Structure 1
Amino acid sequence: MNDDDRLFAEEMAGVKPLEIERRVVIRKDDGGAVNIAARRAAATAQSSARNFLSTSEIELLDPYYVLEFKREGVQNGVFRRLKQGKYAIEARLDLHKMTVEQARLQVFEFIREAMKADLRTIMIVHGRGHHSESTGAVLKSYVNRWLPEMEEVQGFCSAQPQHGGAGAVYIMLRKSEKKKQENRDRLARGRGF
């Protein structure tokens, strides 16, 4: 026995091995062809709403960088009112203390749910990254990348100070067909046709 083996044996004197828990193997019944077909149908239905938002590496923004994005066709006056915080915020999502992957899932679902509910103006609080170990605002940088990737988003900008300032964004969503028809009906009544 060499010195290393002897030293190891001395150190391990009196040590008991860990007790191994007995594990029971549970076999799941696959339920046959009906369950398999149902699972395939559900997977196919969900594929159209897959989360396509990217988590690839990006350049981090300064915590106080002011975000601003407007799609072609959005009226300047409407966008100016959004920047001034003059639209009522109909829903709010707070991303504080989330990982990038958690935030990606939350942002995607939040936008989808807001569209289903016919909401037009929503807000995401992403924070400024002051408590992060990185040199920039990580979630803010990803939100700035993700929102333009979603067709539903017509524009967004950093919020007013009372709503979080550079740590939050106002988001204007596309009008649903139902809301467009309501506007047409309202305007038609106003013209007296």
Structure 2
Amino acid sequence: MTQDTNETDDLELFRQAIKGARPITTDRADTGKPRSDRAQLQTLRQRATQPQHRTRVDGLSDHFVIDVAPEEELAWTANGVQESQLRKLKTGQIPFDGSIDLHGMTVEKTRELLWEFLAEATSLEVRCVRVTHGKAQRKDGRKPILKSHVNTWLRQHPKVLGFTSCIPRHGGTGSVYVLLRREMLEGRDD
């Protein structure tokens, strides 16, 4: 009988303790973070899906452009790239998996397209690409503008390990093979 009395006393104490309490209507905890504004989220999502008309080109400066002659062969490697890699690149032994032709474009359009092209190639883990800049042998004796700019920009790009003028059947001194830095993705065989 003492057990029933204890249970009754406990039940009565519990009822007194919860007197005036209301049942919980939601099963979500309040984390203290402000609630998200659905209208603002929808606006942000719509903006993210719309193409941006201006490509942001970071790091490709043309304040100091290295002038090169129309028939001059181009070659450059970043620190740490082996000479054997440059030799293979120069002789066309490393196959290129993408190509872009920049003939007849303005300097600004060339910069934008080159940046986009290299970004896409590196995202696809491409090892080597070909960039055709042309030679632009000018009658007034001035140096080729696009070739000089491409030569300068490729040296500045963080994903470029090296470049060299192509063999004649791939464009000769009017094109360059570009060796790109690749990130090691999981599951890749080579």
TM range (shorter): 0.5 to 0.7
Equivalent residue for 2:58, pick from 18, 27, 51: 51
Alignment partner of 1:82 is 2:82: no
Which runs of no fewer than 5 residues in structure 2 stay unpaired?
Answer: 1-38, 50-55
What value does the CA root-mean-square deviation take over the aligned residues? 3.2
Alignment partner of 1:168 is 2:172: no
- In structure 1, the residue matched to 2:126 is 119
State how far apart, in whole Å, the 2-side matches of 1:146 and 1:104 are.
8
Contact 1:118/1:179 (CA < 8 Å) preserved in 2?
Answer: no
Alignment partner of 1:91 is 2:98: yes
Change (3 A) 1:179 1:125: farther
SS in 2 for 1:130: coil
**Shift of the alpha carbon at 1:107?**
0.6
SS in 2 for 1:145: helix
Alignment: residue pair count: 151
- In structure 1, the residue matched to 2:75 is 68
State how far apart, in whole Å, the 2-side matches of 1:133 and 1:112 are.
35
- In structure 1, the residue matched to 2:114 is 107
- In structure 2, the residue matched to 1:190 is none
Q: Percent sequence identity over matched residues?
A: 33
Q: Whose Rg is larger?
A: 2
- In structure 2, the residue matched to 1:156 is 163
TM-score for both structures, normalised by structure 2: 0.68
* Partner amino acid, structure 1, of 2:159: E
